[in-house]
Structure 1
Amino acid sequence: MSDETEGVRLQKVLAAAGVASRRASEIMIDEGRVEVNGKIVTEQGRRVNPDRDQIRVDGSRIPPPRRHMYLVLNKPRGVISTMDDPEGRTTLADYLPRTKERLFHVGRLDTETEGLIILTNDGEFAHRLAHPSYEVRKSYHVQVAGVMDNRTLKRLEKGVTLDDGPVKPDKVKLISRGQDRTLLQVSLHEGRNRIVRRMMDAVGHPVDRLARTAIGPVRLGNLPVGETRELSRDELGALLDMIRM
């Protein structure tokens, strides 16, 4: 619980987070649209601890002031998911802004897989986001060899058994079929090594190309290959809720 005699005025915290001007934030408070630690706040001048208190506007989490870096990278194909490589191969570090901070990559993408990867210097955030107990969904565009028939699609939707146990995706959607290829969207909570590739091998359609397009509420969107951006306020707030930080 925040100490209401200390801390920062709530409308100042909202303005600093980019939610609205102080005056507009005061109106939001008057309208009952702001919560602190699960309780609606309607009185003006309420003081909060922005690092500890959970603040929401219209139900959306407002993350605390940033003490850490939270980046999204559109990893190119052929790049190793490490920060340095003794053999001199291209790594994630080659695509990041110069910083003295030590960044962790959240989860891995194998060398031939491209797409969304999150990097941060917040170790607890990275640990939780990668941990399977929080069940953060990941989505992929998957191009496989051969024309996948509807029966095989149904088999994938129901789940397949691999050598280390069964896997059932949350969603399998057919995007297109060509003469010798099929493009799918696959979403799942699984984090096992090369899980999407092994699923497709199990149904007889090896992956030709694989790209991760989303992690929870974070989507790759139009971010060019090899470029980075910061997590938005809404993305970070939603992730903090998902991993219960």
Structure 2
Amino acid sequence: MTDDVKGERIAKFLARAGVGSRRDVERMVAEGRIIVNNEVIQQPATFVTAQDMIRVDGAVIGPQERTRVWRYHKPTGLVTTHHDPQNRKTVFESLPPGLPRVISIGRLDLNSEGLLLLTNDGALARRLELPSHQWVRRYRVRVFGLVDEKRLAALAEGSVFDGVRYGAIQAGLDSRKGDNSWLTVSLQEGKNREIRRVMAALNLHVSRLIRVAYGPFQLGTLQKRALEEVPTKTLREQIGGFEAAPRRKAARSVAR
């Protein structure tokens, strides 16, 4: 049987459609929330094709839609997840009505703000957030404490703090006022809370963290909570091998 006839695993198929991550889809399968051709599927190894009728929580994964990307200015106080066990407000609850179901490219934690890229294509999201893609994330960071510029510069060689190895971080002092300083920090790896943890190891407390760029995409003058779609022409120019060809449109609000 050829790959075209066999199709692809349900988790991969629905992740590409922006329903959620592969792990999200596997959880949905276990919970009996996915129906293929009028049968509830029970195995995440189930293979599907574009000709199959797929429902998630009763919603049909319907007509095809092109791949799209948006810039969003995330404020503090929102978590970057579709469902939060602590019932905190999420980024996706703050988006305007009528938007297709989207997932984030990377994350910003509760107390971080700035540029967050959103897309309706799960495969594109996974590709662009990989360190191997070598897109630089740039931040403006306000810290409290005495800044040692030599220690900041040494971060470019990589570092190890509390047994965790961090890749190269470019960090420089922009301005200082009393015990508060503004830094520009750039990195490619982006481990969970990496900047906050590395700064803490330098005896610096991060009081504000703003992402101003993700690869070629800039926060610019985008206002907080504002959302702006990236033109397809720009995506083709900035993302190697980008294809905006139509694909199945994801059902809305299915990951919970």
Q: TM-score, normalised by structure 2?
A: 0.64
The residue aligned with 2:217 is 218
1:99-133 per-residue CA deviation (whole Å, 9 max, x = no partner) reads 36321111111100111111111122111011222
1:78-97 per-residue CA deviation (whole Å, 9 max, x = no partner) reads 11111343544221123322
The residue aligned with 2:165 is 165
Residue 97 of structure 1 aligns to a residue whose secondary structure is coil
Residue 126 of structure 1 aligns to a residue whose secondary structure is helix
CA distance 1:214–1:104, shift in 2 (3 Å):
same
Counting aligned pairs with the same residue, the percent is 37
The residue aligned with 1:116 is 115
Which segment drifts farther, 80-89 or 191-200? 80-89
Query: Distance in 2 between the 1:87 and 1:207 partners?
Result: 24
Contact 1:160/1:202 (<8 A) preserved: no
Partner AA of 1:110 in structure 2: D
Contact 1:95/1:227 (<8 A) preserved: no
1:181-232 per-residue CA deviation (whole Å, 9 max, x = no partner) reads 1110111101211111111011111211111110011000000111111114
Figure out how many residues of one structure are paired with residues of the other and give that number. Answer: 178
Query: Distance in 1 between the 2:171 and 2:204 partners?
Result: 14
Query: Distance in 2 between the 1:144 and 1:94 partners?
Result: 30
Query: Distance in 2 between the 1:238 and 1:191 partners?
Result: 24
Say what the alpha-carbon RMSD is for the aligned residues. 2.1
Q: Higher RCO, 1 or 2 (CA under 8 Å, sep at least 6)?
A: 2
Residue 108 of structure 1 aligns to a residue whose secondary structure is coil
The residue aligned with 1:135 is 134
Q: Which runs of 4+ in 1 moved over 4 A?
A: none
Larger Rg: 1
1:146 Cα deviation from its structure 2 partner? 1.4
The residue aligned with 1:71 is 70
Residue 110 of structure 1 aligns to a residue whose secondary structure is coil
CA distance 1:120–1:77, shift in 2 (3 Å):
same
Which segment drifts farther, 211-220 or 152-161? 152-161
Partner AA of 2:195 in structure 1: V
| Unmatched tracts of structure 2, length 5 or more | 1-64, 244-256
1:31-85 per-residue CA deviation (whole Å, 9 max, x = no partner) reads xxxxxxxxxxxxxxxxxxxxxxxxxxxxxxxxxxx81331111100111111343
The residue aligned with 2:198 is 199
Which segment drifts farther, 229-238 or 218-227? 229-238
Query: Distance in 2 between the 1:194 and 1:235 partners?
Result: 30
